[in-house]
Structure 1
Amino acid sequence: MKIAAVGVHVLDTHVIGVESIPAGSDGQLVETIRMSAAGTAGGTALVLSRLGAEVTSYGAVGTDPIADVLLALLTREGVDVSGLVRKDEHQTSSSVIPVRPNGDRPAWHCIGANGAFTLDDLPPSAFDAVTHLHLGGPEFLGGEAAGQLLGKARAAGAVTSLDILAPGDPDMLAWVADALPHTDYLLPNDEQVLGFTGASSLAEGARALVDAGAGCVAVTQGARGALVVTADEVIEVPAYAVEVVDTTGCGDAFSAGFLRGLSLGRDLRGAAELGCAAAAQVAGGLGTDAGSYSLDSVVAFAAEAERR
Structure 2
Amino acid sequence: MKVACVGVHVLDTHVIGIESIPEGSDGQLVETIRLSAAGTAGGTALVLARLGAEVASYGAVGSDPLGDVLFALLGREGVDVSGLVRKDDQQTSASVIPVRANGDRPAWHCIGANGAFTLDDLDRSALAGSTHLHLGGPEFLGGPAAGELLAWAREQGMTTSVDVLAPGDPDLLAWIADALPHTDFLLPNDEQVRGFTGESDLAAGARALVAAGAGCVAVTQGAKGALVVTGTELDDVVEVAAYPLGDGELVDTTGCGDAFSAGFLRGHALGLAPADAARLGCATAHQVARGLGTDAGDYSLSSVQALVAGS
TM over 0.5: yes
Please give the residue correspondences for 1:165-184 in structure 2 after superposition, counting only pairs within 5 Å: 165-184=165-184
Question: Over residues 129-159 of structure 1, what are the superposed CA-to-partner deviations in whole Å (9 max), with x where a residue is unaligned?
Answer: 1100000000000000000000000000000
Cα shift at 1:119: 0.1
- 1:271-290 equivalences under 5 Å are 271-290=277-296
Equivalent residue, structure 2, for 1:252: 258
**1:244 offset after TM fit, Å?**
1.5
CA distance in 1, matches of 2:56, 2:244: 32
Equivalent residue, structure 1, for 2:70: 70
Pick one of 225, 237, 240 that aligns with 1:237: 240
Q: Does 1:128 align with 2:128?
A: yes
Q: Specify the alignment match of 1:28 in structure 2.
A: 28
Which residue number corresponds to residue 291 of structure 1?
Answer: 297
Q: Quick check: 1:206–1:229 contact (8 Å CA) kept in 2?
A: yes
Structure 2 runs not aligned, ≥5 long = none
Aligned to 1:40: 40
What's 2:92 paired with?
Answer: 92
Aligned partners of 1:172, 1:298: CA distance in 2, in Å?
34
Distance apart, 1:302 and its partner CA: 2.2
* TM-score, normalised by the number of residues in structure 2: 0.97
AA aligned to 2:123 is P
Counterparts of 2:150 and 2:52 in 1: how far apart (Å)? 23
Give the alignment's Cα RMSD to 1 decimal. 0.7
Distance 1:76 1:105 in 2: 27
Equivalence for 2:83: 83
Percent identity (aligned) = 78
**Is the 8 Å Cα contact of residues 4 and 126 (structure 1) preserved in structure 2?**
no
Residue 3 of structure 2 corresponds to 3
Which of residues 267, 272, 290 in structure 1 aligns to 2:273?
267
Q: Which runs of 5+ in 1 are unaligned?
A: none
Deviation at 1:300, TM superposition (A): 1.0
How many residue pairs were aligned? Answer: 305
Q: Secondary structure at the match of 1:284?
A: coil
The question of 1:223 aligning with 2:229 is answered no
Q: What residue identity is the alignment partner of 1:302? A: V
Residues 218-245 of structure 1: per-residue CA shift (max 9 Å, x gap): 0000000000001151111000011321
Task: Return the alpha-carbon distance in structure 2 between the equivalents of residues 169 and 76 of structure 1.
Answer: 37
Aligned mates of 2:10, 2:274 — CA distance in 1: 29
Q: Secondary structure at the match of 1:160?
A: strand
For residues 19 and 114 of structure 2, the distance between their equivalents in structure 1, rounded to whole angstroms, comes to 31
Amino acid at match of 1:264: L
Question: Deviations for 1:239-274, whole angstroms, at most 9, x for unmatched residues?
Answer: 001132110000000000000000001111110000
Preserved contact between residue 63 and residue 87 of structure 1 (Cα < 8 Å): yes
* TM-score of the superposed pair, with normalisation by structure 1: 0.98
Name the counterpart of 1:108.
Answer: 108
Distance 1:73 1:157 in 2: 30
Question: How far apart are 1:303 and its partner, in Å?
Answer: 2.0
